[in-house]
Amino acid sequence: MVKIPFACGECHLVLDDGVDSCPRCPTARVSSEHQGYVIIMNPTRSEIAKRLKIDRPGKYALKVSIR
């Protein structure tokens, strides 16, 4: 069975296995329902990072569904 990691509903950071709260947004809700995946290595040079308002390197979900 494939385990789907959680993603932060606020900053869209994909969390490590076993982590269920965002280290960047501790009060934000997290969800395992997310779509798309992007790895940002250098946010200052990335057009995708600018469009998604990402300012730190990391793994991000493109869309996070919070219910």
Short-list 10, 56, 54, 5, CA closest to 34: 5
Euclidean distance between CA atoms 45 and 7, whole angstroms: 23
- Considering the entire predicted model, what is its pTM? 0.87
State residue 55's pLDDT score: 95
State residue 67's pLDDT score: 78
Residue 28 lies in a domain: yes
Q: Is 18 left (phi over 0), alpha (psi -120 to 50) or beta?
A: left
Residue 1 lies in a domain: no
Residue 2 lies in a domain: no
State residue 31's pLDDT score: 95
The total number of structural domains in the chain stands at 1
State residue 17's pLDDT score: 87
Residue 29 lies in a domain: yes
Residue 35 lies in a domain: yes
- Structural domain containing residue 17: 7-64
**Residue numbers of the chain with a pLDDT score lower than 70:** 1
CATH number reported for the structural domain that contains residue 56 in this entry: 2.20.28.90
State residue 25's pLDDT score: 94
